[in-house]
Amino acid sequence: MAQSEPQLPLHGINVLDLTVARAGPAAVRLLSDWGANVIRLEPPPPKDHGSVTGQRRGSDEQNLHRNKRSMCVDLKTPEGAQILARLLENTDVVVENFRSVVKARLGLTYEALSARNPRVILASISGFGQDGPYSERPGVDQIVQGMCGLSSVTGEPGRGPVRVGIAISDTTAGMFLGQGILLALFHRERTGRGQWVHTSLIESMLNKLDFQAARYTVDGEVPTQQGNAHPTLVPMGTYRASDGLVNIAASTQRMWANFCQALEAHDLIDHADYRDARSRARNRAALDEAIQAHTSRFTCAELMTRLNPAGVPCGPVLDIGQAFEDPQVRHLGMTRTARHPVLGELDLLRSPINLSAAPHPERFARAAPDPGEQTDELLGELGFAPELIAQWRDKGAIA
């Protein structure tokens, strides 16, 4: 099944991708994976300064930009403005992460776009929002992790803030912008009109703090680092087995009783300091040491065999390679293959969304394009003559 076949929900939706870095492309990837026709508009060399992913044919680039086509156009030229105007005639969604002054200069504000095409949806992503005192600041994942408070609750107590090991604010903002685009498309079905959808890294991460944020906004409590222990539920954390590490969650009264029974930890279930949830939370440090004494008597496999059937969640701590080789992950088939003309067959991560009426295609329609790989093809689809395309290329307006 090809990505462009009508079985995919976004077939027929035309998306113009003007984004750089990671958050915007992550939002567009959601659309391209589910059948949208995505044109990635990039500046021609040498104005193309590369990508946040590093190598243009590297694994990160391929995973971020699969299922898209690329056209290199200098939007600052009259020819570029003409091409952009033609593109916008049939575009459903424009995704961008320009500063506001750049949007205005290129005619990409929502007011300008909707005057041309009332059905268009403008989707914008930024570091700190579209207005306010920080709106013109550059914002990247590392900075936002620190500013939203995430780093302050990550890591071991007393050892200082720790960065989460992935670009969590970029990918979260991209995910929320993708959801916003889908909401706007649904709204357009009812009203016939587009709208401006926007989010930012800081808004997305403040929302992502979830119950940790609510502890402050509702209770006035500022959460702190707890290491691998759950901030509020006890016991829940990482414990040593005889051959590795496992995570165990035994926070409810029933789970706690089943945990003690499954590991024959009778000294714990009868202990006055651990009788109920409040006492277990109050004596967490001592309880963790006592639990460790019991878990270290078993292998990881033995702990999982004893605890999971008893209704006590337990799982090993794996590295990324081990995670992808895990039997359940292999069963879920979290990768799909894309054929690259130079790199060959690439295993890339599929969308985690599963739809019964639109199963995942067996392959991605295309690998990530080189910059401008489909410039001539796309300009031809827009109705520009080959002679004109050649002239524009000679002038450097396209590449």
Give the pairing type, strands 244-249 and 314-316.
Answer: antiparallel
Q: How far does the chain reach from its first CA to its final CA, in angstroms?
A: 31
Interatomic CA distance for residues 51 and 172, integer angstroms: 19
**DSSP-assigned letters across all residues of 275-319:** SSHHHHHHTHHHHHHHHHHHHTTS-HHHHHHHHGGGT--EEE---
- Contact predicate 153/224, CB 8 Å: yes
Q: How far apart are CA 170 and CA 127, in angstroms?
A: 9
Q: Which residues are catalytic?
A: 170
Tell me how far CA of residue 128 lies from CA of 77, 109, 135, 238, in angstroms.
30, 18, 5, 35
**C-alpha span between 11 and 306 (Å, rounded):** 48
Task: Report the candidate in 388, 386, 368, 268 with the shortest Cα–Cα distance to residue 63.
Answer: 368
245 contacts 316 by C-beta, under 8 angstroms? yes
| C-beta separation of 248 from 316 below 8 A | no
- Two tokens at 96? 């961008």
- Residues of the chain by 3-state class (helix, strand, coil), percent to 5: 40, 15, 40
